[in-house]
Amino acid sequence: MGEQLDRAGQVDEEQRSVDAMHALLEAEVSARRTAQERAIAAPVDGPAERYARDLEVAQLTESIRQLQAAEHALCFGRIDRAEDGESLHIGRIGLRSEAGEPLLIDWRAEAARPFYAATMAAPMGVRRRRHLRLDGGRVIDVNDEILDGTSPTAVDLVGDSPLVAALSTARTGRMHEAAATLQAEQDEIVRSPHRGIMVVDGGPGTGKTIVALHRAAYVLYAFPSIAERGVLVFGPNRRFLTYISEVLPSLGENDVVLATMPDLVDVEATRAEPDHIARIKGRSALADGLARLVRSHQPHGVPLELKTTHDTVTLAPEVVDAARRQALQGDVGHNRARALFTEYVVDDLVSELERRTTTEMSDFEEELEALLGIDLDRLAGVDGEASQDELDIDWDSIREDLLEDPTIDRAIARVWPRLSPEDLVRGLLSSRDVLAAVLPVVTADDLALLGARDGWSSADLALLDEARALVDGASETSYGHIVVDEAQQLSEMEWRALMRRCPSRSMTIVGDLAQAGPSTTLRSWDDALSPYVEERFVHHRLTVNYRTTTEILLATEPLLAEIAPDQQLSRSIRHGDQPRVLGVTDEALPSTLGSLIAEVTQKHPGELIGVIAATDRSHALEAEVAKAGGTIVAAPDARGLEFDTVIIVDPAGVRAAGDAGPRDLYVAMTRATKRLLSLQPSTTGRDGDASPSGSAA
């Protein structure tokens, strides 16, 4: 009874603090709304004042949105210093009282660091770390950790780790922020002062994505110059982006762009192709092929004949080459450079026409003087040759007319045609000569398969992006910081697309090379990054698995040894059921799967069940799984997701489906947070306890 009274008293004490925070938050929102209304109603005089007014309104709107986003579980922690007993509450944003006293510390502030980094071995001056569990604005429970070695007192409520409690809750199909439970090794990465490229890798369930998203929120908070240029979070597919979409808004960050490759190029992939063809298309050598093809559509060592109403002029090859070199300065892209080339050529053309006209008039005067026997200059009282003013020719107007002359444009088109990115990619994929030059080790049969067809494949999208940069110039939207999740999936061409969008090379890159997909040829972070920053990147590795149980991880060990022999199994902090493989006949598989989902749902209500199968089989089972209340995912699309229970349908089929099959199976097995089941089609339909990575059924 005494412990319950103490707990109730501590909850009440924290509730009073949280109430004060919410009152201050509401006052802040109200003040900003008043300022917003005042700004909207204020008269404006002219475009400059209107722009300033609109900017102020937009800033106030964003500020209100950030404050409102923090209302849910506003405060989640507290640290009490050992020396003087001073307390600091930690939460989603920072709040100060009217007197300027800190009422709530933003979790990203330096003062909040001990909440994450303090341990019993290194308490950082902290006696007690308290975790608050809130439901909206109501404090439900508190949980304390004593870090300085002193004995708990009557007001210390020591219980289970909040991390364990969070991991034990059912999945919801969406990732949630973890600002309250970031671990020390994760927080160190999130708060890193490094502004260049940071690589964070680790096995499944080590919190790579959570670290990446909280890193994005920290960058926006700590580095204003980067925040001004925006943050992009790049993911492998839209299912994954939907899964993580609530994390940053829950941290008060709504202006981060979430995108996949189709989003970046605004083109959907509608055609599948063999994995080995996708790998070939992903090689950076094809960028050289595109550049070579662009250069072939520009003049090199050729004359240029230009017909005008005044005269026909043929510019010498060296003059044409000089105009080309001038036009291409500044990486402006083929089409923009063509316009500049036209201007330089017309300048040379007008100069030549002017020279010819002056020469012709001078020759005419000499002939006339000889014929008449008089000195025209002396007769006119003017020394020298006939001037441009005397000829009354407006060469500037002639130049402008020539720039718009369709005859001149057609002449330019013969040596420098306009290009479209789409035609450039199709031209590359259809040019056996160019492909053979940049891909000398690729077989003739594969070169034939590269030929462009109707629609675009996923691997074509990065080629399109490269072609746009070559044709239209580096006009893509750039960002101050890019977070790349599931980075092991990227091809060399996709890395080029992302690097173009981050000139400052400020990036957080997270991934697991053991989970690499079929379209990449990269096998190390050095392979991926050295073309851009050589060895100038920071590398962190996460070693603790927070999601997958020890039993499931051990079941994946033989498969991990096969696909990534140099990689160590991560260490799980949780235990659970042994994985099971259930034999079933092909005919009975759909009904057995439905019954199995129903059984798991009955035993574990409210938990999320994910069914993972090879792509073709996942389509065939979609209706059955949906009817039973589960979620089905094709194995190649499962990266980054998590479920309470995972049911793998035909693990041998997943393993055999394409070059990345073994890696896809490894990913599928590690999506489970609590239990892993497999349905293996067989002739006997026997059940057993076995690893789905092995041959037992």
Q: What percent of the chain has pLDDT over 90?
A: 48
As given in the structure block, the two tokens for residue 539 are: 């590398």
Does 59 score more than 90 pLDDT?
Answer: no
Please, what is the angle between helix 492-500 and helix 525-533, to 10°? 40
pLDDT for 2 equals: 46
Query: 603 a known binding residue?
Result: no
Q: What is the per-residue pLDDT across 181-212, written as a single tens digit (0 to 9) for each?
A: 678 888 888 889 888 999 999 988 888 888 88
Strands laid side by side in the 197-202 sheet: 257-259, 231-234, 481-484, 507-511, 197-202, 537-542
Query: 205 a known binding residue?
Result: yes
CA distances from 241 to 84, 232, 246, 247, 261 (A): 45, 12, 9, 10, 12
> Of the spans 133-142, 376-385, 401-410, which averages the highest pLDDT?
401-410
Task: With cut-offs at 50, 70 and 90, classify the pLDDT of residue 9.
Answer: confident
Average pLDDT of the residues in 665-682: 92
Task: With cut-offs at 50, 70 and 90, classify the pLDDT of residue 689.
Answer: low
pTM: 0.80
Q: What is the per-residue pLDDT across 15-49, written as a single tens digit (0 to 9) for each?
A: 999 999 999 999 999 999 999 999 898 888 888 88
| Spatial contact of 42 and 36, defined as CB atoms under 8 Å apart | no
Position with higher pLDDT, 616 vs 695: 616
As given in the structure block, the two tokens for residue 261 are: 């490759």
Query: 281 a known binding residue?
Result: no
Query: 206 a known binding residue?
Result: yes
Q: What is the per-residue pLDDT across 94-153, written as a single tens digit (0 to 9) for each?
A: 999 888 889 999 989 999 998 888 888 888 899 988 888 888 889 988 888 888 888 777
Does 57 score more than 50 pLDDT?
Answer: yes
List all residues 6 or more positions away from 12 whose beta carbon is below 8 Å from its beta carbon: none
Query: 203 a known binding residue?
Result: yes
Does 291 score more than 50 pLDDT?
Answer: yes
Average pLDDT of the residues in 2-11: 69
pLDDT for 532 equals: 95
Does 609 score more than 60 pLDDT?
Answer: yes
pLDDT for 568 equals: 87
Does 497 score more than 90 pLDDT?
Answer: yes
Q: What percent of the chain has pLDDT over 70?
A: 88
Q: What is the per-residue pLDDT across 592-608, written as a single tens digit (0 to 9) for each?
A: 999 999 999 999 998 99
Query: 314 a known binding residue?
Result: no
Task: With cut-offs at 50, 70 and 90, classify the pLDDT of residue 684.
Answer: low
pLDDT for 463 equals: 97
Enumerate the CATH 3.40.50.300 domain ranges in the chain, comma separated.
Answer: 577-682
Does 658 score more than 60 pLDDT?
Answer: yes
CA distances from 222 to 191, 193, 195, 485 (A): 9, 9, 11, 21
Question: What does the DSSP 8-state code read for residue 171?
Answer: P
Average pLDDT of the residues in 500-511: 94
Looking at CATH, the fold of the domain delimited by 577-682 is given as: Rossmann fold (3.40.50)
pLDDT for 95 equals: 92
Does 305 score more than 90 pLDDT?
Answer: yes
Q: Are strands 507-511 and 537-542 parallel, antiparallel or unpaired?
A: unpaired
d(CA 509, CA 501): 14
pLDDT for 444 equals: 87
Rg (CA), the chain: 34
Q: What is the per-residue pLDDT across 470-495, written as a single tens digit (0 to 9) for each?
A: 999 876 889 999 999 999 999 999 99
pLDDT for 216 equals: 87
pLDDT for 364 equals: 62
